[in-house]
Structure 1
Amino acid sequence: MTVSKGSLLIVDDNEMNRDMLSRRLQRKGFFTKVAEHGRQALEMIAVESFDVILLDIMMPEINGIEILKILRKDYTMAELPVIMVSAKDQSKDIVEALNLGANDYVTKPIDFPVALARIHTQLHRKRAEEALLLSEAKNRAILNAVPDVLFRVGADCHFLDLKGAEKIGLTEKPSELVGQPLSAALPPSIETLLTHTIQQVSATESSEQVEFELARNGNFMDYEARVVPGGENDFLILMRDITERKHMEQMRNEFISILTHDMRTSLTSIRGSLGLISKGTAGDIPLHVKTLVDIAHKNSERLVRLINDILDIDRMESGKMSLQRRQLPILQLLKQAVEACQATYGIQYKVQFALHMQEGMDDVNVLADEDRLFQVVTKLLFNAAKFSPSDETVDIVASLDAERVRVAITDHGPSIPEAFRSRIFQKFAQADTSNTRQQGDTGLGLSISKAIIEQLGGQIGFFPGEEGGNTFFFEMPVGTHPSSSK
């Protein structure tokens, strides 16, 4: 079965011309019909669909020019391409036909390869136009089906289509915004944010998400906007009202904050009491009872650390973590951290901590919050001890490079799995290893450490050893000499 390349109507009062052209086009795979005069052609077009019309100019009753005028009242050039057929001395008629909306022309005697090429050109244009219209119809259907607010904008950040803009009070007539810039409907701050996001999406060819507040009916509402690439030169902006979600998140965070504060108070009391019992302050206890009390005491300490981590995450996400910066002698802080960890984690995990210092660092300060920086160092030492084999050494190296202090902590345990390395500083991230599960890690320590170091103006990172082990490091800007600090 031969698939037709297209449906053609040949309109010519000369029977030999139209029949010969029809047969040649049929041999090329086209479906053809013929009309011997203009009135017959109009009747056929009214009841049948054709892809291209080949229309002779000189015909009795109604000439080709008049037929073209009638066709263009109902069909655009894209909807129904018309190729005029004329004698070589009819240039005036050809110009008139082109001005009236003819798509192209051929001259008699017809050069068949030329006519064939021009028919193919019009068919390709028609199908491309139909595909574009279909695509736009699909996009419009998607826009209408999505329950959220959705904009389609061009690369110049002008609206191409809008859906739901009236729901959030941007306009009563979305169609009036088509062709207008984002600034015609959005406040300057949001217009700037979305323009910048569109530029990022254009550069990376990936989606981006932003959040902002938008005034609506006298109240500020929270919105999430996702910008994704559309066609070659357009972008889709999907806006979603997240006010209720934000409210629920706030309620959840407040609940967690209250709960963890209350739990920490109770656990601190329990831990203290267990510690006193274990030391015999409340009187001598049997050895097997002391063993159970020690287990309970260690687990209460672990729970206190977990609750403190959750509280730290809550403070960071709510922007309530305050840092008391002052000039700190970095080596003094490292020695204190190593001493504290040796007496606890060193004994617990049977490892040694070894501090190595570059010469000339005795008087080096960093501008930091002492408690928070101490927290970071002890968390890194704890991780290194926890994942090191027994009787191994954890090396701490402090060095000075230009205007930055670098502290590197190296363990000799298994290297971090490659698949996990990109997520290691994310909240609750844990490598799927039996060692991790045995240690009961929560995956919060490194996330907290990263947030603290970055808030202090430093940076943190890690790299695996060539023969196993891992090195975690952080760098901080050098502060002033102790004698110059006030």
Structure 2
Amino acid sequence: MKPAGVRTSRIARAFGFCLVLAILLAASAFIWTLRLQEIHKWEKQSETFSLVLAENTSQQMDFAYTAISSVAERIQDRWSVSAEYLTKQLSTEDFHQMLAEKVALFPAIEVISVLDVHGDVVSSSRQFPAPKYNLADRDYFEAQRDSPSVGIYLSNPVQSKATGEWLFFLSHRLTGSDGEFIGAVIVGLSPNFYAQMYEKLSVNGSASISLLREDLTYLARWPENSAVMGQRNVHDASMYQRVHEQAKRSGIFITGQAHGAEHASGTTRMTAIKTLDKYPLILNFSVDEDVYLADWRKISMAIAIVTAGAIAAVIAAFRILIQLFLQRERDMQDMTALKREADVINQNQTTLLANLTQQQTALKVSSDRLTAIFENAADGIVMIDDKGLVEAVNPVAEAIYGYSAQEVIGKNSQLFAPPGKQDLLELALSQQNFQRTGKARLETERVRKDGTPFPAELSISAYQLAGERKLIIIVRDISERRKIERMKAEFISTVSHELRTPLTSIRGALGLIGGGAIGFVPEKMRSLIQIAQKNSESLTRLINDLLDVQKIEAGKMDFEFASFPLRQLLDNAIQQNQSMAGSLGVSLVLDEGAEPDLSALGAMLLRVDAGRFQQVMANLISNACKYSPDSGQVRVMTQMIAANRVRIIVADQGNGVPENFRDRIFEKFSQADSSDTRSKGGTGLGLAISKVIVHYMDGDIGFYNASPEQGGGAHFYIDLPLQTATVKA
């Protein structure tokens, strides 16, 4: 029989082994849990950093877009007659000084330049006179030259021909009075500026931050790396694609693969992706595993030390237990050793608490940054809960509404609305776009504390906080904008009315002189009088068009409706415009091969304002004559498109409507970019006015280019409701 001490020692060894294994498993689970918590904490911090960086970047882009828009608008308002005129007027020191002052206002802007139609620099903020180099090969110039509707274009980064530094550009098309391309305004933005800004939020230089275009092209980066500038970040494309597929604006990813040339080591990284709301830009904030797991590794090392100590203590304790039967005196020594190990554990717990306090301090610093952004925003910001109660307002909102924060927090946002109007929450919920996307932008009337109403532009966004929906409303007072719009309308009205009376007298006097009322007029003088009379008639049409546009915008265009035979209306249109067509060398005919035939048109009635109908027909016929070649033919046709609806078509034999002009052909002051058209004259208002007139007569207006098999040319049509009647003999 084995001694009892031997059996006891075997049981003690087995029990000790199980206990050591349990300690190892518990320590491993605890370390893994801490790792997950540390990763989650850094995911939140990375998301916060990317949001702050995106807001700062968006603000700088706001400045740049404002600068280029203001310069382009100033040029368009003053010097957009032609390419030659633009070059002459902008090659001045005064204009160079204005550009230099613009650049001085915005630190992110490196240079503002104006390019002529050939891509040569006309004026630059860097020096006067402008440097002599050509930028026609740049993508921003090609985009503006070849695409009239591209708007403000964000280019690839390029090395400046003047300084050799990397820049990326915003470009704005300049359009002449004839609608042709006459040049471009470009604003050069410095990647170095953004790199310096990102450096301040790069976690003591341990993070890398990239600014990319929507197509993943590098525009700026910290740490700076000229090798990747202008290259596409194809390695991160899958992450951007996942964010896009999930219909999100941001995302957090952890990956162990290499991330392009700047991370060739292939270390595991945490990447926060944030797309900007207003601009085609992406912010990429990433840190190495060595950074975001640094604290965890320190804590894990401490836990490993404690665990090793605990295991050593267990082994020692069980050795003591086994030897207890041999030497009871060792018991006190073993208890003392266990106490020392417990002290070590307590000390490590204290270290853990200190690290937790440090993390809380870092979170407070991040919160303070967001508060600073809220307090210093350029627009008013109001935050409300899902019940419409105000939770916060920034200083600009206080200045706009006239309330202090203490007066509105906790109260219903109805106090910002005029009597009987919706509060902010109701206003948001009434917008279909907000119900679909959680965002809305609108103009409405709000009221100040003193009861004064004012027009406001509101941008409303919803977000979730602690499981509850909140609303952020960005408020902008647009009183000045409305005032300028009223001044513009009043100016057009005053000029038009003040010009029409003396112009009528001038036309009459010229007509009397040309008709021989004062006696014989020499041939040379007669030619000059005819030119003056023709130009006065053109100016009269322009003034009448302007007055019609004013009436349309004011909703005061008058109509006198009556029923007229369709054949009579068309015959009158042909007769009234026949002399004009003849002066342009074009024949004007009523097509007898149309359906229904001409004999049936007399039995068809249209309920229209006859004068306004003839005004529409005159616009369509005059345009067709201008676009037709010499000795060409303009046809007026009819076509039944429904049992009670007829289509009247005016067809020419020209080249048709250009592809790049189709979308804006019915807009005010729109004219095709054609030398033939410009040589014939025109106000650019006729089709816009015709569209409104046809709409008031319950009709539709449109056009199409006929195929070569159909005879070619542009076919403009109006569709009107038809009344049938029997014509009495």
Q: Same fold (TM over 0.5)?
A: yes
Q: How does 1:4-403 map to 2 (within 5 A)?
A: 4=290, 5-6=292-293, 7-8=295-296, 9-10=299-300, 12=303, 15-17=306-308, 36-43=344-351, 45-46=353-354, 143-151=374-382, 162-163=393-394, 164-166=396-398, 167-168=400-401, 172-173=405-406, 175-176=409-410, 186=417, 189-190=421-422, 194-197=428-431, 199-200=432-433, 203=436, 209-216=441-448, 217-226=450-459, 237-344=473-580, 346-356=581-591, 358-359=596-597, 360-400=600-640, 401-403=642-644
User: Taking structure 1 as reference, are residues 290 and 220 closer, same or farther at Cα in structure 2, changes over 3 Å only?
Assistant: same
What is the CA RMSD across the aligned residues, in angstroms? 3.9
Give the corresponding residue for 1:431. 672
User: Taking structure 1 as reference, are residues 185 and 168 closer, same or farther at Cα in structure 2, changes over 3 Å only?
Assistant: closer
User: Taking structure 1 as reference, are residues 419 and 37 closer, same or farther at Cα in structure 2, changes over 3 Å only?
Assistant: same
User: Taking structure 1 as reference, are residues 172 and 423 closer, same or farther at Cα in structure 2, changes over 3 Å only?
Assistant: same
Q: Using the alignment, how far apart are the partners of 1:154 and 1:390 within structure 2?
A: 70
Give the corresponding residue for 1:459. 700
Normalising by the residue count of structure 1, what TM-score does the alignment of the two structures yield? 0.68
- Return the offset for 1:405: 2.5
* Count of residue correspondences: 387
Q: Using the alignment, how far apart are the partners of 2:637 and 2:309 within structure 1?
A: 93
CA deviations over 1:57-113 (Å, ceiling 9, x no partner) = xxxxxxxxxxxxxxxxx79xxx9xxxxxxxxxxxxxxxxxxxxxxxxxxxxxxxxxx
One-letter code aligned to 2:582: I
CA contact (8 A) 1:171 1:185 kept: no
CA contact (8 A) 2:669 2:684 kept: yes
- Return the offset for 1:231: 9.7
Normalising by the residue count of structure 2, what TM-score does the alignment of the two structures yield? 0.47
- Return the offset for 1:279: 2.1
**What secondary structure is seen at the aligned counterpart in 2 of 1:420?**
helix
**What secondary structure is seen at the aligned counterpart in 1 of 2:621?**
helix
Q: Using the alignment, how far apart are the partners of 2:518 and 2:726 within structure 1?
A: 46
- Return the offset for 1:239: 3.2
Q: Using the alignment, how far apart are the partners of 1:206 and 1:328 within structure 2?
A: 52
1:449 aligns with 2:684: no
One-letter code aligned to 2:491: F
One-letter code aligned to 2:584: Y
Farther-moved stretch of structure 1 (272-281 vs 244-253): 244-253
Q: 1:418 aligns with which of 659, 675, 684?
A: 659
CA contact (8 A) 1:12 1:18 kept: no
Q: Using the alignment, how far apart are the partners of 2:701 and 2:672 within structure 1?
A: 19
- Return the offset for 1:389: 0.8
- Return the offset for 1:448: 0.9
- Return the offset for 1:383: 0.7
- Return the offset for 1:369: 2.0
Q: Using the alignment, how far apart are the partners of 1:470 and 1:157 within structure 2?
A: 55
Structure 1 residues without counterparts, runs of 5 or longer = 21-34, 52-73, 80-129
CA contact (8 A) 1:329 1:363 kept: yes
User: Taking structure 1 as reference, are residues 206 and 416 closer, same or farther at Cα in structure 2, changes over 3 Å only?
Assistant: farther
- Return the offset for 1:42: 2.3
- Return the offset for 1:207: 8.1
- Return the offset for 1:374: 1.4
Farther-moved stretch of structure 1 (222-231 vs 389-398): 222-231
One-letter code aligned to 1:15: V
CA deviations over 1:298-339 (Å, ceiling 9, x no partner) = 111100001111111111112222222222333322211111
User: Taking structure 1 as reference, are residues 252 and 327 closer, same or farther at Cα in structure 2, changes over 3 Å only?
Assistant: same
Structure 2 residues without counterparts, runs of 5 or longer = 1-264, 268-288, 312-342
Q: Using the alignment, how far apart are the partners of 1:427 and 1:227 within structure 2?
A: 31
CA deviations over 1:3-40 (Å, ceiling 9, x no partner) = 415121246597344799xxxxxxxxxxxxxx932344
**What secondary structure is seen at the aligned counterpart in 2 of 1:397?**
strand
- Return the offset for 1:237: 4.6
CA deviations over 1:349-383 (Å, ceiling 9, x no partner) = 11112223524332322232222221111111111
CA contact (8 A) 1:327 1:482 kept: no
Give the corresponding residue for 1:83. none
User: Taking structure 1 as reference, are residues 452 and 421 closer, same or farther at Cα in structure 2, changes over 3 Å only?
Assistant: same
Q: Using the alignment, how far apart are the partners of 1:475 and 1:309 within structure 2?
A: 23
One-letter code aligned to 2:719: E
Tell me the percent identity: 32
**What secondary structure is seen at the aligned counterpart in 1 of 2:410?**
helix
Q: Using the alignment, how far apart are the partners of 1:454 and 1:215 within structure 2?
A: 36
One-letter code aligned to 1:258: T
Q: Using the alignment, how far apart are the partners of 2:495 and 2:566 within structure 1?
A: 36
Q: Using the alignment, how far apart are the partners of 1:310 and 1:190 within structure 2?
A: 37
1:474 aligns with 2:707: no
**What secondary structure is seen at the aligned counterpart in 1 of 2:701?**
strand
Q: Using the alignment, how far apart are the partners of 1:171 and 1:330 within structure 2?
A: 67
Q: 2:646 aligns with which of 405, 415, 420?
A: 405
Q: Using the alignment, how far apart are the partners of 2:518 and 2:355 within structure 1?
A: 104
Q: Using the alignment, how far apart are the partners of 2:370 and 2:570 within structure 1?
A: 61
Q: Using the alignment, how far apart are the partners of 2:459 and 2:685 within structure 1?
A: 28
Q: Using the alignment, how far apart are the partners of 1:237 and 1:218 within structure 2?
A: 21
One-letter code aligned to 2:629: P
User: Taking structure 1 as reference, are residues 160 and 215 closer, same or farther at Cα in structure 2, changes over 3 Å only?
Assistant: closer
Give the corresponding residue for 1:62. none
Farther-moved stretch of structure 1 (35-44 vs 214-223): 35-44
- Return the offset for 1:461: 1.1
Q: Using the alignment, how far apart are the partners of 1:343 and 1:266 within structure 2?
A: 26
CA contact (8 A) 1:13 1:37 kept: no
Q: Using the alignment, how far apart are the partners of 1:238 and 1:431 within structure 2?
A: 40
**What secondary structure is seen at the aligned counterpart in 1 of 2:602?**
coil
User: Taking structure 1 as reference, are residues 348 and 211 closer, same or farther at Cα in structure 2, changes over 3 Å only?
Assistant: farther
User: Taking structure 1 as reference, are residues 45 and 230 closer, same or farther at Cα in structure 2, changes over 3 Å only?
Assistant: closer
**What secondary structure is seen at the aligned counterpart in 2 of 1:284?**
coil
